[in-house]
Structure 1
């Protein structure tokens, strides 16, 4: 079976293809007669919406046939795409001494065969198509929108928090396109290019489809054609009276697809703290593209976080737990920065020093984003993998060269030595207790406690009560005094813990008094902060009415 032509109605696309044919040559007339199936001509001028001008001097005998109304089409090849026009009409001879030149009316449409998948049908704002991406079948879905589609690939826009994790060359196990009428197309793809939007709030990914079956190719050709049809209908200079493509007629029972989160993060402070996540996601993409860390940007975001802590530290401590849609690496960097800065401030350290500590903590683990994704996701390390993994420290340190305002001692403690252990089992240098200062010791405690509360490829996350118990068995690795200081400062049941009360209610700890006693909670409808509905704050008699605490609950990951 031969390849099928796809109709292209979009005026801009038709103009672009014909102008390329005019510029590069190779035009011909087809369909004149069985004896002359293809005759070479020169496409001289393209006047969008008005007509075409052709030089037929080399085959001057066809001029009289064309003026008499003989049907034919213009054909050619541009950018790997075969094209042919709708039947041309309105031929008239032009005055051109020594030449035979004709003009004709603008063709109603073009028909193309995308031999090299070069042409992409673009979607405008009135054509919402949801794109769902999964790196693995079991992985969490990332929702975005389709920007364009071709027979060989597509461009999709996803939230910026996906940009650092989805790197060029990554295989996508599932790209699901959902059209407003309910039709759905599931394909596998590979990321070919990635670009952050100017505002860093989203990123655009170019994907090439892989392992396409014949049925997938037929459906893609249909969707490309329908997108072109709908784009031509609702373009600024389009014809809205044309019959709409059924792909873009929403089902009566469902609204049009939307990738937007129905509500923001759970609290106002969490929505403000998300600005840091936006910055770190964008920064990580820039680092992956070879950039260094911008000194001014890092300084501004350090001040921003410290300003939030000044305003309401407990709200910030709770907000750390609310950023559930961010990549784990970004969540971890923000959590360590918040808690380490909070501890530093409680010790009365100078403001410039606290700012350096906060800024270094914000970026301390971003070097992991510069490693091969397969290495970071590995659940077992041999000597070779471990040697490759520890390079993330040096990779990040190199990118801090322009941040001259950061104290060298702070960079050393928070970036270079945060993974060292008192017994010499840490990395990258295997330093021991006598070689580690106080800041490196407390940074290691904050880092480990947060990391143990998050899942990794080799283990599941743990409740804070379990984390605290295990600190007792790690006194040879972590400074005992700073473990005790951490627990005393943040509490045995710290802000952000999920509790089950005697009456069966689930509630998030939102505020503690100076002795670490719970004074405010928010009830929740589910054991996860992703998409959860929280009650108004409960304190005093309302809190007492919930009954005794039955235990700390490990929050669930949502699909």
Structure 2
């Protein structure tokens, strides 16, 4: 006989009850739950059943509850079999004895068993402070590190950095999920990504996986983990934890003690300067926005506004610190690094005498101007020969992005059109998307084109290596038919021949990053570099201020670095 009971099916057949109880005994994963509404499951061992008479349990792991149970407080047992969650009705202890250091207890025999068919509704959630690392590993061995957020018999949810979207998109079968608990317990299982959601505030990706091809041993282990997570979560829920024994899986759990801060799974301590560590939040926003665009969302107006304000604030505090910080973001995706560098340098070049709302619009437009490239078929960027069809497809990134700005009512339409729409136009009409020429191109668009080309050429590309500022200036000056010579001259005069963020080779044979400049363009402050690598905290040496020439000699040349 089967009685429907909410999401459970109540089974009253004596043979079925016996079979389910045997499955619970064999699984080794059974929890005792007090009748109190706020009680949480505690793992115990269900040892044997005497059909129609009693159940025998080992309650050594919950000996602190024995007093309450012996006084008549009721409880129920919960376990699993073949992916189904099983639950007894309320039971009471009938006998307790201690033997060999263990507490063996007998209880009533259940008259029914509740069977939960919807496995996915039974999830154990990890509370703040419960840290279980979870790696997602592709078939070719590429691994992305994240954290487990919840676990059920059927699947799990994992928080991952946004860079994981590439691994997920390329997967054509189950991925390996590898968990490491605080006590060192390691567990692997296969999983298929079923859904993913971007957390725009925290700049992370939440991915739901359904387990695949689980063995019976894996099912038992998963159920044990579910019970232990619930057990540990109960300790965090209570005001006092003295009467709750910690789960052995979490005995070594703890918060980060190295003083580092995480933004979207980024370890901020890696970044070279205090300003760069603050700028990482802007990078994390753009990274999240890239994924949202791919998923069909518009530009997040509130987040864009907030991060444009953040860049403006950093610029007002210390413009040279911000210029250098824009070179210190090598761990970020290329489109993110490029957007930040263009926004920062364009603001610094043209924004000094402009109203703040115009400055903000310039920054916002610079930050996102290239994000539409994520919406273009990526085969365009991988083509060995860039043909007319590829050029046409790539040019569509401008209109694809402009179509996603509907919610950004605060963003000046004229500024967005000049920066986003005009940054790729050229004086001779060879640019895109409209093929404008000469005086038809807005002055802000002409300035934006210079900044964009400089920033693009400072980085490696498939068909050429990164170039120095002097090499880029020569390239621009050789193409006056494409780039406005007046804006080239203004750019060079403003940022100098050895700009902030350049890596210079000095006559003393030292390499050093240019951090600040005197008015005549000579280095006022540099930071010694260990090698020709993008600046990160571990690759920077001591700072040299004021007496740069006396300490290091004259700068001999700039060294190209793809930052």
TM-score under structure 2 normalisation? 0.70
User: Which of 451, 457, 461 pairs up with 2:456?
Assistant: 451
- Residue of structure 1 equivalent to 2:313: 307
Partner residue of 2:42?
none
> Who is 2:248 aligned against?
244
Tell me if structure 2 keeps the 8 A contact 1:71–1:89. no
CA distance in 2, matches of 1:262, 1:305: 17
Give 1:314 deviation, angstroms.
Answer: 0.6
CA distance in 2, matches of 1:188, 1:75: 26
Instruction: Tell me if the contact between 1:525 and 1:534 (Cα under 8 Å) persists in the aligned partners.
Output: yes
- What secondary structure is seen at the aligned counterpart in 1 of 2:547? helix
Offset at residue 342 of structure 1 (A)? 1.0
Any residues of structure 2 matched to 1:169-180 within 5 Å, and which?
Answer: 169=169, 171=171, 177-180=179-182
Q: Deviations over 1:88-126 (max 9, x none)?
A: 97599xxxxxxxxxxx8699xx99999987765544445
2:363 pairs with one of 345, 358, 362: 358
What are the within-5 Å matches in structure 2 for residues 481-500 of structure 1? 481-500=486-505
Q: 1:323 aligns with which of 317, 325, 329?
A: 329
Q: Aligned residue for 1:22?
A: 5
Q: Is the 8 A contact 1:414 1:439 kept in 2?
A: yes
Q: Kindly indicate whether the alpha-carbon contact (under 8 Å) linking 2:83 and 2:219 is maintained by their aligned counterparts in 1.
A: no
Alignment match, 2:442: 437
Aligned length: 492
The CA distance in 1 between the partners of 2:562 and 2:382, in whole Å, is: 20
Among candidates 197, 200, 205, match of residue 195 of structure 1? 197
Shift of 1:496: 1.0
Q: 1:338-353 to 2 correspondence within 5 Å? A: 338-346=344-352, 348-353=353-358
- Aligned with 1:333 (options 339, 344, 357): 339
Contact 2:346-2:448 within 8 A present in 1 as well: yes
The answer (yes or no) to whether the contact 2:327–2:534 under 8 Å persists in 1 is no
1:49 corresponds, among 34, 55, 79, to 34
Look up the match of 2:225: 227
Structure 2 portions without partners, runs of 5+: 22-31, 37-49, 58-75, 95-106, 236-240
**Alignment deviations for residues 190-239 of structure 1 (CA, whole Å, 9 cap, x no partner):** 64333344733433222456xx6x6x757754652442243244232597
Contact 2:156 2:210 in 1 (8 A): yes
Aligned position for 2:513: 508
1:397 aligns with 2:399: no
C-alpha contact (below 8 Å) 1:522/1:537 kept by paired residues: yes
| Distance 1:71-1:30 versus aligned 2 partners, 3 A rule | farther
Counterparts of residues 153-192 of structure 1 (less than 5 Å): 153-159=155-161, 162=163, 166=166, 169=169, 171=171, 177-180=179-182, 191-192=193-194
CA distance in 2, matches of 1:131, 1:68: 44
Q: Deviations over 1:264-289 (max 9, x none)?
A: 63222223333333443444455445
Q: 2:221 & 2:295 partners in 1: Cα distance?
A: 34
State the alpha-carbon separation in 2 of the partners of residues 135 and 464 from structure 1: 40
SS of the residue corresponding to residue 206 of structure 1 reads strand
1:230–1:328 CA distance, 2 compared to 1 (3 A): same
SS at match of 2:351: helix
Q: Is the 8 A contact 1:192 1:208 kept in 2?
A: yes
Relative to structure 1, is the Cα distance of residues 358 and 223 closer, same or farther in structure 2, using a 3 angstrom cutoff? Answer: same
Q: Which one of the candidate residues 145, 148, 153 is aligned to 2:147?
A: 145
Q: Identify the residue that residue 13 of structure 1 maps to in structure 2.
A: none
Pairwise CA distance, 1:452: 2.0
Contact in 2 for aligned 1:270/1:316 (Cα 8 Å): yes
Structure 1: state its 5+ residue gaps: 1-19, 40-46, 52-64, 93-103
Aligned-partner Cα distance in 1 for 2:209–2:34 = 34
C-alpha spacing 1:196/1:445, structure 2 compared with 1 (3 Å):
same
Name the CA distance, whole Å, in 2 between partners of 1:149 and 1:426.
52
Q: Distance in 1 between matches of 2:349 and 2:445?
A: 13
SS in 2 for 1:155: strand
CA RMSD of aligned residues (A): 4.8
TM-score, length basis structure 1:
0.71
Per-residue deviation at 1:413? 1.6
1:30-109 to 2 correspondence within 5 Å?
Answer: 32=15, 49-50=34-35, 68-69=53-54, 81-84=83-86
User: Do the aligned residues in 2 keep the contact of 1:325 with 1:530 (CA within 8 Å)?
Assistant: no
Q: In structure 2, do the counterparts of structure 1 residues 137 and 463 end up closer, same or farther at CA, with 3 Å as the change threshold?
A: farther
Q: What's the secondary structure of 1:528's corresponding residue?
A: coil
Deviation at 1:318, TM superposition (A): 0.7
1:538 aligns with 2:544: yes
Distance 1:328 1:106 in 2: 65
**Shift of residue 414, structure 1, vs aligned partner:** 0.8
- Matched-pair contact (CA < 8 Å) for 1:525–1:532: no
The correspondence of residues 276-295 of structure 1 with structure 2, limited to 5 A, is 276-293=282-299
Aligned to 1:144, the other structure's residue is in SS state strand
